[in-house]
C-alpha cells in the first residue's frame, strides 16, 4: 500500500540490487521515500535494479569490502547535497565452510564483506546521518543457531549483531537508533549464488524447514523488508539495540 511515512527521507541500502535489499528499497519507495541509494558490485544488477525502482533510486557501484569504494558512496551522497535518514547495512555473502579445510581466503572474504563492510559503511556515512536517524544491520538466524558448515558465516553475523548493542550507546547523543534484523532462511539468490544450492538442495531445505520452523516454510524477501521498514519507522521509536528475529520462529524454539 502506498503511504507517505518516509516522505522527504533518504535511505541508503548496501546490497540493494537483489533479494532482501532490493525488496527493502521497493518498500521504502512505496512508503514515500524521497531517495533510495542502493549499492552493489555488479553493474548489470545495478542497472536492472535502477530501472525497476525508477528515478527516486540512485544506484552506486561499490564493494563494501573495499574502504576506498565505501568512500565513493559517501561522496556521491554528499555531492547531491543530501543527508541520510536511514542506513540499512545489508550487503553480505554466505558460503559454506568445513572446519578442517577452510581457507584463509574463504574466512577473509566473509569477514571482509559481512563485518568489515558493515563497520566501515556505517563509520563512513555517519557524518551524513541526521539527528534522530536510524541504522539497521542485517545479521542472520545463523548468528544464533549452530548450523553445520556455516561457522565462519555465523560468526560474522554474531559480530554484526554485537555492533548494534554498542553503537546504540555510542550514538545516543545524536538520538540515532541502531537495530539488527535477523532473517531466517529467505528465498533469495544467495541460496544459489552463495551457498551453491541446486533445486534438489532447495527442495530438501524446504522439507527440513517445514519440520523445524514453526511457520513451516522459508521467508519471502518482502517479509523481511516489512520488518526493516518497521524498525526505521516512528512506530519503533523506543526500539533500540535489539535483534529482531524474522525467522518464522526458527531460532525461538
Ligand X SMILES: NC(=O)c1ccc[n+]([C@@H]2O[C@H](COP(=O)([O-])OP(=O)(O)OC[C@H]3O[C@@H](n4cnc5c(N)ncnc54)[C@H](OP(=O)(O)O)[C@@H]3O)[C@@H](O)[C@H]2O)c1
Active site residues: 153
Single residue of 183, 223, 240, 242 touching ligand X by CB under 6 A: 183
Based on the shown chain and the rule CB under 6 A, indicate whether residue 85 belongs to the binding site for ligand X.
no
Is residue 37 within 8 A of residue 63, CB to CB? The reply is: no
Single residue of 27, 93, 213, 232 touching ligand X by CB under 6 A: 93
For residue 243, the cross-strand partners are 180
Based on the shown chain and the rule CB under 6 A, indicate whether residue 45 belongs to the binding site for ligand X.
yes
- In the sheet that holds 10-13, the strands lie side by side as 57-61, 35-40, 10-13, 84-89, 129-138, 177-183, 243-246
Distance of CA 28 to the CA centre of its chain: 14
3-state secondary structure of 91: coil
- Helices of type H across 148-189: 151-170
Based on the shown chain and the rule CB under 6 A, indicate whether residue 17 belongs to the binding site for ligand X.
yes
We find the least distance from the C-beta atom of residue 117 to ligand X, in angstroms, to be 6
Based on the shown chain and the rule CB under 6 A, indicate whether residue 91 belongs to the binding site for ligand X.
yes
We find the least distance from the C-beta atom of residue 13 to ligand X, in angstroms, to be 9
Set of cell numbers at residue 174: 545524536
Nearer to ligand X, 168 or 190 (CB): 190
3-state secondary structure of 250: helix
Based on the shown chain and the rule CB under 6 A, indicate whether residue 53 belongs to the binding site for ligand X.
no
Strands (E), 27-119: 35-40, 57-61, 84-89
Set of cell numbers at residue 66: 573495499
Radius of gyration of the chain from Cα atoms? 17
The position carrying cell 560468526 is: 155
We find the least distance from the C-beta atom of residue 8 to ligand X, in angstroms, to be 26
Based on the shown chain and the rule CB under 6 A, indicate whether residue 190 belongs to the binding site for ligand X.
yes
Based on the shown chain and the rule CB under 6 A, indicate whether residue 92 belongs to the binding site for ligand X.
yes
Stretch that binds ligand X, among 4-12, 86-94, 100-108, 228-236 (CB under 6 A): 86-94
Single residue of 12, 21, 58, 179 touching ligand X by CB under 6 A: 21
Nearer to ligand X, 48 or 83 (CB): 48
- Residues in contact with ligand X by CB under 6 A are 14-15, 17-21, 39-42, 45, 63-65, 90-94, 113, 117, 138, 140-141, 183, 185-186, 188-190, 193
Amino acid at each position: 500500500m502506498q503511504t507517505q511515512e518516509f516522505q522527504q527521507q533518504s535511505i541508503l541500502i548496501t546490497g540493494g540490487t537483489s533479494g532482501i535489499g532490493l525488496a527493502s528499497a521497493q518498500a521504502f519507495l512505496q512508503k514515500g521515500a524521497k531517495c533510495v541509494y542502493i549499492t552493489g558490485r555488479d553493474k548489470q544488477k545495478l542497472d536492472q535494479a535502477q530501472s525497476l525502482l525508477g528515478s527516486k533510486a540512485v544506484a552506486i557501484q561499490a564493494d563494501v569490502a573495499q574502504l576506498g569504494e565505501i568512500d565513493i558512496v559517501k561522496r556521491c551522497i554528499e555531492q547531491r547535497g543530501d543527508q541520510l535518514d536511514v542506513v540499512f547495512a545489508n550487503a553480505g555473502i554466505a558460503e559454506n565452510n568445513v572446519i578442517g579445510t577452510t581457507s584463509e581466503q574463504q574466512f577473509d572474504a566473509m569477514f571482509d564483506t559481512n563485518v568489515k563492510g558493515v563497520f566501515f559503511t556505517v563509520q563512513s556515512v555517519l557524518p551524513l546521518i541526521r539527528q534522530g536517524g536510524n541504522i539497521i544491520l542485517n545479521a542472520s538466524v545463523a548468528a544464533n543457531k549452530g548450523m553445520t558448515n556455516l561457522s565462519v558465516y555465523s560468526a560474522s553475523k554474531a559480530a554484526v549483531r554485537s555492533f548494534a548493542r554498542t553503537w546504540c550507546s555510542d550514538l545516543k547523543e545524536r538520538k540515532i537508533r541502531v537495530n539488527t534484523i535477523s532473517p531466517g532462511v529467505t528465498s533469495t539468490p544467495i541460496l544459489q549464488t552463495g551457498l551453491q544450492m541446486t533445486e534438489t538442495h532447495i527442495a530438501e531445505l524446504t522439507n527440513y524447514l517445514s519440520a523445524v520452523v514453526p511457520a513451516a516454510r522459508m521467508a519471502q524477501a518482502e517479509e523481511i523488508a516489512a520488518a526493516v521498514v518497521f524498525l526505521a519507522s516512528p512506530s519503533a521509536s523506543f526500539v533500540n539495540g535489539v535483534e529482531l528475529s524474522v525467522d518464522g520462529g526458527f531460532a525461538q524454539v
